[in-house]
């Protein structure tokens, strides 16, 4: 594969971050039973206000069984490519250079906004800041690009740090 241009890398990373933020926060609000599918199977580091959470299934359990209805209002987000040649896993190891695509990169995504806990629209808004490391979803990339429309996420959470700020 030829090296993609800086403009291409910027577009792919920005589009990936945008798609991720829109779908993840939508799931947190109204489709909590799918939250675990946003997480990588690789060992993850997940922190909520300094507390370690084991994995995506544990995050889903918190949202499904422990938290009241939650509304997120994302005010801003940004992304940065961490590794433009991320070693995307395959069934036999990792992708070879000939198999890689421009989406075989890891991303740092920062998000800030407001969250409301509870059903009342009058519940106080709390500020939050969240940082993610996203990695390519091997299941999405192995299907030749048509997977996105079939519900497969192109990026998965490898690391997450959520913090209430006010």
Question: Is 147 inside any structural domain?
Answer: no
Q: How far apart are CA 77 and CA 83, in angstroms?
A: 19
- Contact between 12 and 102 under an 8 Å Cβ cutoff? The reply is yes
Q: How far apart are CA 126 and CA 166, in angstroms?
A: 6
Cβ within 8 Å of residue 61, ≥6 positions away: none
Question: Is 1 inside any structural domain?
Answer: no
Q: Which pLDDT score, from 0 to 100, does residue 147 have? A: 40
Question: Is 123 inside any structural domain?
Answer: yes
Q: What is the CATH number of the domain that holds 98?
A: 3.10.450.50
Q: Which pLDDT score, from 0 to 100, does residue 155 have? A: 96
Question: Is 79 inside any structural domain?
Answer: yes
Q: Which pLDDT score, from 0 to 100, does residue 96 have? A: 85
Q: How far apart are CA 144 and CA 40, in angstroms?
A: 19
Domain that holds residue 82: 6-142+152-164
Closest CA to 42 of 128, 116, 134: 134
Q: The pTM is what?
A: 0.90
Bridge partners (DSSP) of residue 71 are: 116
Question: Is 160 inside any structural domain?
Answer: yes
Per-residue pLDDT tens digits of the chain, which is 166 residues long: 578 899 999 999 999 999 999 999 999 999 999 999 999 988 789 999 999 999 999 999 999 999 999 999 999 999 999 999 999 888 888 988 888 899 999 999 999 999 999 989 899 999 999 999 999 998 885 544 444 445 579 999 999 999 999 7
Question: Is 66 inside any structural domain?
Answer: yes
Question: Is 23 inside any structural domain?
Answer: yes
In angstroms and rounded to an integer, the radius of gyration of the C-alpha atoms of the chain is 16
Residue whose entry in the numeric block shows the structure tokens 């926060």: 25
Q: Max alpha carbon distance in the chain (Å)?
A: 55
Number of structural domains, the chain? 1
- What the block records as the tokens of 85 is 């040649």
- Contact between 130 and 112 under an 8 Å Cβ cutoff? The reply is yes
């Amino acid at each position: 594969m030829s090296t993609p241009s800086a403009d291409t890398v910027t577009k792919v990373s920005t589009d990936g971050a945008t798609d991720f933020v829109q779908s993840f926060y939508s799931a947190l609000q109204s489709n909590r039973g799918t939250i675990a599918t946003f997480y990588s199977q690789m060992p993850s580091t997940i922190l909520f206000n300094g507390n370690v959470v084991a994995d995506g299934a544990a995050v889903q359990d918190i949202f499904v069984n422990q938290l009241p209805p939650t509304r997120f209002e994302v005010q801003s987000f940004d992304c940065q490519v961490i590794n433009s040649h991320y070693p995307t896993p395959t069934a036999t190891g990792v992708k070879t250079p000939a198999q890689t695509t421009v989406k075989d990169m890891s991303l740092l995504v920062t998000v800030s906004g407001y969250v409301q806990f509870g059903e009342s629209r009058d519940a106080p808004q709390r500020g939050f800041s969240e940082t993610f490391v996203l990695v390519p979803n091997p299941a999405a990339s192995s299907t030749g690009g048509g997977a996105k429309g079939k519900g497969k996420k192109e990026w998965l959470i490898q690391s997450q740090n959520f913090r209430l700020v006010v």
